[in-house]
Amino acid sequence: MSNPPNLENLQKICSQVRRDIVRMVHAVNSGHPGGSLGCTEYFVTLYNHIMKYDSSFNMEGKGEDVFFLSNGHISPVFYSTLARAGFFEISELATFRKIGSRLQGHPATEEGLPGVRIASGSLGQGLSVAAGVALAKKLDGDDRNVFVLMGDGEQQEGQVWEAAMFAAHNKIDNLIATIDYNGQQIDGPLEEVNSLGDLKGKYESFGWMVLECDGNNLGELIQTLEDARSKTGNGKPVMILMKTEMGKGVDFMEGTHKWHGVAPNDEQLADALGQLEETLGDY
């Protein structure tokens, strides 16, 4: 999309998506609210300003920008964003993680949920898929871009670095990858579990162009994603190191790994919803 961003509208969508996230996870006492809340601005910006796509959805995505979620456990924010962008009925969010639902705990493809092109959640695989699809687009003469989101703890997977090497070697310069750099993983702070060291330096040494931003600052995030898009076609894949705060928007969830995969109880849900304005109508 080429029109200037409407920050007020994007903020409203972000607030509603965050309400969706906590309600979905609470309803089944299962899911991953922390990372979903932290990545809300990224998803909302991607699907409401950056990407060119058709919400009627076809799996091949020819002539469209396509997105892959590698850290599939943050499916609540993905599902909410897709529904709010018109891929399927918003009311279907009420089926999250229920038996027979298309909205499984980790995105899956067997039920044909529009917007989902790969099953994900087995960490380390998304960058490989995105690199392959981006290369296929180049070979097909398709000038659209491929986007992928990974977690920072996911960088501990060796397959990520095989894909990083492959993408740079093959000059896959229509690939825009982003890392949710919240410094938390399921077992605790990243620095205590397995430090990533100089992540920017690592990707640059692998032949990537690296940008950095505050992923919870809409203006800065939009500028960075637009910058990344402008840098495609220059012989290098693009990586965005996106600093976020896990649990963003709900004060008692912010900045800790403890809400990585824990659902709020009734009282906590009421507290969370009291902090998040209902802007577009709850499902």
Q: Is the pLDDT confidence value at 2 over 80? A: no
Question: Which pLDDT tens digit goes with each residue over 145-178?
Answer: 999 999 999 999 999 999 999 999 999 999 999 9
Average pLDDT over every residue of 43-47 = 98
Looking up residue 234, the CATH number of its domain turns out to be 3.40.50.970
pTM to 2 decimals?
A: 0.97
Q: Is the pLDDT confidence value at 3 over 80? A: no
Question: Which pLDDT tens digit goes with each residue over 209-261?
Answer: 999 999 999 999 999 999 999 999 999 999 999 999 999 999 999 999 999 99
Distance of alpha carbon 262 from alpha carbon 239, whole angstroms: 30
For residue 150, the SS3 value is strand
> Is position 281 within any domain?
no
* CA atoms 77, 228, 133, 84: torsion sign: positive
Q: How high is the mean pLDDT of the chain?
A: 97
Distance of alpha carbon 194 from alpha carbon 160, whole angstroms: 15
- Domain residues for 125? 7-275
**What is the amino acid identity at position 100?**
G
Residue 162, classified by CB atoms within 10 Å of its CB into exposed (0-12), middle (13-18) or buried (19+), is middle
> Is position 170 within any domain?
yes
- DSSP states of 12-38: HHHHHHHHHHHHHHHHHT-S-HHHHHH
Average pLDDT over every residue of 124-143 = 98
For residue 177, the SS3 value is strand
- What percentage of the chain carries pLDDT values higher than 90? 96
> Is position 283 within any domain?
no
> Is position 280 within any domain?
no
Greatest Cα-to-Cα distance within the chain, rounded to the nearest angstrom: 53
Number of structural domains (the chain) is 1
